[in-house]
Amino acid sequence: MILVAIGANLPGPDGAPALQTCRRAAIALDTMPGLTLKGLSRWYETDPVPPSGQPPYVNGVACLTGSPEPAALLAALQAIENAFGRVRSEPNAARTLDLDIVAIGDMVRAGPDPILPHPRAHLRGFVLAPLLDVAPDWVHPVLNRPAKSLLAALPPQGVRLWACDSGRAT
């Protein structure tokens, strides 16, 4: 099981809203050679972490199957980000698309990139809430704690379920 976090808070290069960009990115994930999209979370509107005054994010998590080499998967995800206008200016900057490998099975990898599991996933409600939609039994392979427990231990982070039919978070 491969878990990929999807997020955006700026319009795409074509002016598409962040939610539409995230949906298109999920489709792009499903077309990657050797991978199959097995599940896609609901979408969430989330406050930036750390707080920065930038617009809220749209976040979700895709669950894929396959046996990718981690560095090759990271390169492929970065190519998708680039196709959607991603500019890497500074850490935690607003972005048109962000694709992060949360985990590849129970693989633990300190480096080179990507570090697995993602080194901050367990601290981010915007990753854990949608992750629970597609992998409710996921256990962090280093901390040996279920995602549900990790999410419950976090302080409030402004994670709201997106009501897709109304176009707003609820």
pLDDT of residue 96: 92
Mean pLDDT value of segment 98-109: 96
Which CATH code, of 3.30.70.560, 1.10.3720.10, 3.40.50.150, 3.40.190.10, is assigned to 2-157?
3.30.70.560
| pTM for this model (two decimals) | 0.93
Which pairing describes strands 57-65 and 36-40: parallel, antiparallel, or unpaired? Answer: antiparallel
Annotated catalytic residue, options 24, 47, 98, 124: 98
Q: Where are the domains of the chain?
A: 2-157
Annotated catalytic residue, options 47, 86, 145, 160: 86
Annotated catalytic residue, options 24, 95, 109, 137: 95
Mean pLDDT value of segment 129-157: 97
Of residues 34, 31, 89, the one with CA closest to residue 65 = 34
Taking each helix axis from N to C terminus, what angle separates 18-30 and 70-83, rounded to the nearest 10 degrees? 140
Residue 100 is among the residues annotated as catalytic for this protein: yes
Mean pLDDT value of segment 7-12: 94
- Counting residues of the chain whose pLDDT is more than 90, the rounded percentage is 82
Q: What is the mean pLDDT of the chain?
A: 91
Which range has the worst mean pLDDT, 4-13, 57-66, 160-169? 160-169
Query: Where do runs of H (alpha helix) occur along the chain?
Result: 18-30, 70-83, 125-134, 147-152
Annotated catalytic residue, options 100, 137, 145, 168: 100
Residue 47 is among the residues annotated as catalytic for this protein: no
pLDDT of residue 169: 52
Confidence of residue 162 (pLDDT cuts 50, 70, 90): confident
Residue 90 has pLDDT above 50, yes or no: yes
Is the distance from CB of 9 to CB of 31 less than 8 angstroms?
A: no
